[in-house]
Structure 1
Amino acid sequence: MKNDEVGATYTRGQLASAFVTALTHEDAGTRARAEERVRRWSQVLAGMASGRVTVGSRTPVAGLPAWATPQVLRGGFATGTPAAGGSMRPHETAVGSERGAVFAHYLTDAGQAELCTLLDSGGYRLEFPEQAALLAVAWLLRAGDRARALGLLDEIGPFASRLCFTPVPDPVRRQDPSVVWRAGAGEVGAALAGRRENARVEAMREAVTVWNPFADQMLALWLETRAGHAVAAVFPPGWEGRAGDLLDRYEALAAAHTRCGKHRRPKENLAILLAATRDITGGGRLTDRRRGMLRHAVDSTVARRGRPGSPEHAALRLVQVREAAIPAHHLLARVVVARLSGLDPEAGIRQVHEVCGPVTEAEADTHPVPAGTPVPEPIRRVVRRAMAGRVDELLDAGVLPSAEVLAELVPQLAAETSAAAYSDPALRTLMAATYRAFRNRRSLLLVDLQHQVRLTELPWVRALRPHREAGDDTRREAHATLRRLGELALDGFPATLPPNPLVREFAALSRESGADLPWVEELAADIFMGRFSPKFVRAARLAGELLTDSVYARYYDIDYPALPEPDEPGERGSSSAAFDALCRGRAGAARGHSGVAANGTVIEQAQILTTHNLATLAHSVGVTPADGWAGTARRTFAMVLRITSRIDRNPRPLTTIKDVAYAWRHLVFCLSLPGAGDPRPLIEGFHADLATAPEAVRTRLSPAVTGLGYVVAGGRFSAGGTPAGGRRLVGWTTGQHWMREPGSGDRGRLAVEY
């Protein structure tokens, strides 16, 4: 199937999903966001139909160069609208009514003076990398580099009416570059401000404060009629009048308090008491059936809660009333929102504990919550998303839940390292801001081994490169940052594939350090064309330098010395073709399988051969986990147990099995390194941990642990596994995976679940 056919099918699916959400979702905000997705996916389809958008190209939008940031949707599809285009921003309209006029203004003496003031103060921000272009022109002219400034203007000038090339004026924020955060105070404040009352919690609160006291009165009324164990045996004087009053009160309460509907259910105890009361006060009599239901309702209620007024009953109701008196979360969220309103909305929060402290006396005067009320954990959890600190501090605090989130923060650190080679402070600030803005650029869907646009391809970055003075100190700092980030990734997420954004930061930092290392990305199985770029061959050869004759090589049956030699730089020759064929052969793809699942098996073999950057980090960068390779292996096995336990809970279990296999590969890598020591005690520990795991986990993982132990002892897998029933664990398959129970019906579902 051609790229445009695949793209149209995917796009129509996304459009249909957004359309359904826009029509049916109960939340107005969600519907509005879905309507915007409908508009953008419609743009994609229209652009593809007209030829204005080309799926799979580095220049997806006709008439725009590769360096222009496209607006990109999920899956890497460009809408046809440049991200820095569209309607004029407020900072532009403050200068002129048309974008071209704004551009022209900043080329005047007055406009250049404004830009130079921004350069010197740092009082600006870049939402898109294009907004750095005119600042770069101003710096070059001030530095006397008129030729490059004019050359840059010649390159960007044709797009002056379509793209925003001007920065957004913003107050200076002096911030330690090592301090990062996931979200600004304004973002978490907006999330908390959108909190609404929880209907279930409010129904419970109504039950405790309204219906429980009323039910106690009804029960006490019927207990007055008890003689021995018989209810409705005697009716004291005035009983019917008090019963009628209670029925009237019930009607008033039912009309005023509608959250809790339990009292309306005929089989509930309170409803039975009410029905019997109506029978008596209405002049009728109780049927035998009604009498039996009444007796059961009274006896069971007394047995469960005690007699109204008794010590045990009073203690129970006191606990319930105290719990119901706790202010609702949406009310406490408003207190925290008020605290956040006084902070910089774009910055993180250093003192999270102060923002999440108990309600003060002053706050109690303006909010319907008592002083001293603690902020509940669900609200503190949202605020912690804005916690500011070093990456290791955020990891320790548990606010970085995944390697993907870590990857979002890395550009904030890498930007300073990348810009350190520029000696001029104003230029260093500009390049750091450009780096951060560029890293917000979403990846395009690309085919035929094309690579994403790189920072150095931006015309203004290219024009400023000659003013870069990278020395040994800069290279050492870049290497130290790269090593530190690699250690943070391994320490924080030892069982996870490094996500592509993090891999790109690794590659950028290694270039800054002067090292030409082969960093490989995770490839998408649904668009894989069967070919790997030359860097995969280099990465596999590098892995062989570390792992030849290791447990890893024996476990995955890799003859590293026999791998093809890398192609010449910039070429894709016979070595790459041989690597492609090797991966297909190892995956069994030569036997006629096709489709997403078959592609996945081939990609996984490339990940196995290259270790998917683990060898590069350990061997070339010198990364060592904080608890050593043996300790990381133990932590990784704990993650393997945890992920395996999720297989039954996942409606798409094969995706979880892939995660298990990726974590397992990290485990095998860790215990294969010399620094891990003798792996046999580790295998014994794995068997001990597995023995205490749930039965389903033991059943699924025992073959993998047995197989690994057999290889550690010097054995090798045969076609049928190992003599003791061990199995090699990989994630992708074109048939039934052995970790699934026989007959589970998952054969062939990988293509659907990808």
Structure 2
Amino acid sequence: MGHTASPGYAYGQLERAVRTAASAKDGATRQRARAKASRWQEILAGMADGSLRIGSRVPVAETPAWMTLEVAHGGFATGRFLAEVPLSPAEAALCADGPGATDRERLNLWYLTDAGLAALRAMLASESYRIELPEDAALPVVAWLLDHGHAEAALDLIAELRPHLPRLRLAPLPGAAPRPTGALVRLSTVGEVRESLRSARTRPAIAAMLETLKVWHPLFDRLVALWCDTVEGELPRLDGNDVTGGWPCRTWPRDWSQRRAEWLADYATASVRYTASKAHTHPKSNFARLHRALLACEHDSTELTGRDVGWIRRALANTIAKHGEPDSEPRAALRALQASVAAQPTHAELAAALAERLDRFPADGGLPSLEPVAGDAPAHLVTKVARALEAPIEELVARDVITSADVLATVLPQITAQLLAANFDNEQLSTLYAKIYAAFRRRRSLLLLDLEDQVRLEELPWVRAIDPLRARRPDTARAARQTLAQTVLLALSAFPQAILPNTLVRELGALAKQAGLPMPLVEEVAADIFMGTFTAKWRTAAELTSRAMAGTLYARYYDLPQSWTSAPRPRPFRVLAKRTADDFADLCVARAAEARPTRTPGSVAANGTVLEQSQILTTQNLAVLVDTLGLRDRLRASAPELAAESLAWTVDRLAIRTDHRHAALQAVKNAAYAWRQALFFLSFCNTDTQRTTVRQLAAQVARAGLAERFTPAVTGLAHVVDGGRFTPDGRTPDGTGRRFLGWTTGRHWCLPGEEEEA
């Protein structure tokens, strides 16, 4: 048995969800929080009774690894299978009288009849189907294999799927799901963007304000005019805190009673129709006082007390002093301005209008262009619509549709899928494979311990069945290599301060495999689940990094090993018999001593110091990618700008003030990662450029008010640029400069108000 995750994280998530469900003002937010709380309760219950083993690639007992599971935040499986869904009415109509113990089994068995196989063949021929989950493609693969002379493979696949027919949806959903053509990608479908636009709601405060301007102000002005018509003499006014002028309820126009009745009827109608604003109902408001008086006064003032009349006079004086007399120029100008504000369409109305423009495009497709839709729409809504734009990745980055390397990783499978699918000669099978790949990449990753790997596409039984039919074409390999190089350069140039996220690393690995360029690409490991060792590919990546970066600023700053002459000492990992590199792990632990002023082995912080060294020794894939793909010359041209941008991000990040210690520590860690990226880019610059960059950095640090905190890091970098080296404890020989690392088990010297421990 391997390790299992601690329930502490799940308890924390449950507590947060319960707090939100109890305190959130928005009903939809409360409902989502209640659903999250329910999921975390199920997870904790499963962990307690042993039905869930969080940390395993098979967290649900007696379940194949290939099943698509519902995965909560942090990689915790809930135990629910996403393909276990009730039949739709259309599905139920196909198999009402068929054999099977469940509705789902009856439908799956129907698809294996002549009529069902014919329906699947028709879907494949017309591409009129959607693969939302990888399981949706299982029976279409069976149909294709039977239709193309691979009956034995089809029967083997059916035998493997047979135990799951009663529970899982194994056939596609109706409706076309067009793929972006060529090298075009999209972040969302038209239908998804349209739904998002139509879900826009006007904030309650804004809705109340607009209702007040459109409805209650005009009613109030009529009410004021109604009472002003009963004043004898000059209208009441304020003189300091006193009221001067005539008194109301002294004269009664002939039509006053009729106007009163009309106003009360209009008020009653408005009160039913308009409920966003409540200000006019406040008992001490001028509106409410005049309204109550109107209700009590039917024909004359006999129903009103002297006090009531006094309050009418005071209310009239208040509003006249503030806004002017009825029909006066100041009051008319104010109401005209307010009416123009109220006439402007709200965010929700603009979003709804934009959604109507999208109605003429297929919901499952993308937009070929923004111009026919955007028109005069506000920029923030056009940005939302641009999520459905089909365009080259570079254009979506330039439009700020793709805003991070994580988002880049979500769209890259659309290109990778087409490249990998091109290895199939049959067009129907190629299309089906591309849809399977895209659906598989949408699966959420599991939290894994004991060096376990995420489930691979090839583990899906229906993919394994068609994999022998895939050819390795040179033109596809070349295209994959070109896409890989372009994606790496785009990620580095668009988001230079960020390490490549695991989702993108996995996609780059798939492209590298297709290109025939196996690379030791390594993933970021969370400090709280680190098992204390590394697989052998980490050492391989570190060896390549030492060779590629030898003699550079990066190698000198981080004291990279000059060579890895000793043979590696791999051994089987105790749980999975995986090959590990103990010498690499030992080196990371030894190097991490610089960041461990306190001895807390096994803590999250101690794990973090070791993992940071593993990232330093491998450049977290940068050296492997740049060297293997031959990108040095192309990167050298932009390296000064990328380094400067990363360093500026570092300074900006550290300058953000926070009173929360955890947030401050996280800021330092992220700044240190960006700093490492910057040093990688600076290593492709000449010494003069490096010195200029350091001088600019010092000026930025001073302007940001970080001179006292961050000057040691600037001094340390300047020292290495000039050919110096750090002492074993990460300082300059004179003690004024320091090597900047993100993790520490003690107090970080870069945080404000923190002094070093002795």
Same fold, TM exceeding 0.5? yes
Whichever residue aligns with residue 716 of structure 1, its letter is: R
The structure-2 alpha-carbon separation of the partners of 1:216 and 1:659, relative to structure 1 and needing over 3 Å to count, comes to farther
Normalized against structure 1, the TM-score is what? Answer: 0.82
Shift of 1:76: 1.5
Equivalent in 709, 727, 752 of residue 741 of structure 1: 752
Per-residue displacement from partner, 1:230-267 (whole Å, max 9, x unpaired)? 7869636989869x999999999899588667789999
1:403 matched to which residue of 2?
405
The structure-2 alpha-carbon separation of the partners of 1:448 and 1:309, relative to structure 1 and needing over 3 Å to count, comes to same
Shift of 1:502: 0.7
1:372 matched to which residue of 2?
none
Equivalent residues in 2 for 1:301-340, closer than 5 Å: 319-340=337-358
Equivalent residues in 2 for 1:224-263, closer than 5 Å: 235=245
2-structure distance, mates of 1:230, 1:42: 63
Task: Tell me if the contact between 1:411 and 1:439 (Cα under 8 Å) persists in the aligned partners.
Answer: yes
Matched, 1:703 2:709: no
2-structure distance, mates of 1:559, 1:104: 61
2-structure distance, mates of 1:740, 1:414: 43
Shift of 1:338: 2.5
Task: Tell me if the contact between 2:595 and 2:743 (Cα under 8 Å) persists in the aligned partners.
Answer: no
Task: Tell me if the contact between 1:564 and 1:578 (Cα under 8 Å) persists in the aligned partners.
Answer: no
SS of the aligned residue for 2:70 comes to strand
Task: Tell me if the contact between 1:91 and 1:168 (Cα under 8 Å) persists in the aligned partners.
Answer: no
SS of the aligned residue for 2:455 comes to coil
The structure-2 alpha-carbon separation of the partners of 1:269 and 1:50, relative to structure 1 and needing over 3 Å to count, comes to closer
Whichever residue aligns with residue 104 of structure 1, its letter is: L
Shift of 1:216: 13
1:57 matched to which residue of 2?
56
Shift of 1:593: 3.7
Matched, 1:614 2:619: no
Matched, 1:712 2:721: yes
Task: Tell me if the contact between 1:537 and 1:576 (Cα under 8 Å) persists in the aligned partners.
Answer: yes
Whichever residue aligns with residue 183 of structure 2, its letter is: S
SS of the aligned residue for 2:158 comes to helix
Per-residue displacement from partner, 1:206-242 (whole Å, max 9, x unpaired)? 56567878699989x9997899997869636989869
SS of the aligned residue for 2:531 comes to coil
2-structure distance, mates of 1:47, 1:603: 31
Shift of 1:136: 2.2
Matched, 1:536 2:545: no
Whichever residue aligns with residue 82 of structure 2, its letter is: A
The sequence identity of aligned pairs, in percent, is 39
SS of the aligned residue for 2:79 comes to strand
1:728 matched to which residue of 2?
739
Equivalent in 633, 642, 645 of residue 655 of structure 2: 645
Normalized against structure 2, the TM-score is what? Answer: 0.82
1-structure distance, mates of 2:447, 2:474: 37
Matched pairs, number:
719
Equivalent in 126, 131, 134 of residue 129 of structure 1: 134
Per-residue displacement from partner, 1:174-200 (whole Å, max 9, x unpaired)? 641422222222222222222333222
Per-residue displacement from partner, 1:251-305 (whole Å, max 9, x unpaired)? 998995886677899999999999xxxxxx9868999xx99xx99x999x88xx9
1:588 matched to which residue of 2?
596
Shift of 1:442: 1.3
1:73 matched to which residue of 2?
72
Per-residue displacement from partner, 1:124-148 (whole Å, max 9, x unpaired)? 2212212222222333333333333
2:435 matched to which residue of 1?
433
1-structure distance, mates of 2:208, 2:424: 62
Per-residue displacement from partner, 1:657-694 (whole Å, max 9, x unpaired)? 2221111111111101258973112222323444444x
Equivalent in 173, 177, 192 of residue 178 of structure 2: 173
Task: Tell me if the contact between 1:564 and 1:575 (Cα under 8 Å) persists in the aligned partners.
Answer: no
1:347 matched to which residue of 2?
365
Equivalent residues in 2 for 1:13-52, closer than 5 Å: 13-52=12-51
RMSD: 4.5
The structure-2 alpha-carbon separation of the partners of 1:657 and 1:306, relative to structure 1 and needing over 3 Å to count, comes to farther
2-structure distance, mates of 1:699, 1:167: 62
Equivalent in 117, 123, 126 of residue 112 of structure 1: 117
SS of the aligned residue for 1:559 comes to coil
Per-residue displacement from partner, 1:20-39 (whole Å, max 9, x unpaired)? 44455443433433343344
2:694 matched to which residue of 1?
683
Shift of 1:441: 1.4
Unmatched 5+ residue regions in structure 1? 275-280, 359-374, 748-754
2-structure distance, mates of 1:738, 1:62: 47
Shift of 1:314: 7.5
1-structure distance, mates of 2:630, 2:208: 58
Whichever residue aligns with residue 610 of structure 2, its letter is: V
1:601 matched to which residue of 2?
609
Matched, 1:153 2:155: no
Task: Tell me if the contact between 1:226 and 1:232 (Cα under 8 Å) persists in the aligned partners.
Answer: no
Moved more, 84-93 or 110-119: 84-93
Equivalent in 103, 107, 115 of residue 102 of structure 1: 107
Shift of 1:152: 2.6
1:505 matched to which residue of 2?
507
Equivalent residues in 2 for 1:254-653, closer than 5 Å: 319-358=337-376, 375-562=377-564, 571-582=579-590, 584-585=592-593, 587-588=595-596, 591-623=599-631, 624=634, 628-648=638-658, 652-653=663-664
1:752 matched to which residue of 2?
none
1-structure distance, mates of 2:497, 2:593: 27
2-structure distance, mates of 1:605, 1:240: 89
Shift of 1:573: 4.6
Whichever residue aligns with residue 612 of structure 1, its letter is: Q
SS of the aligned residue for 1:17 comes to helix
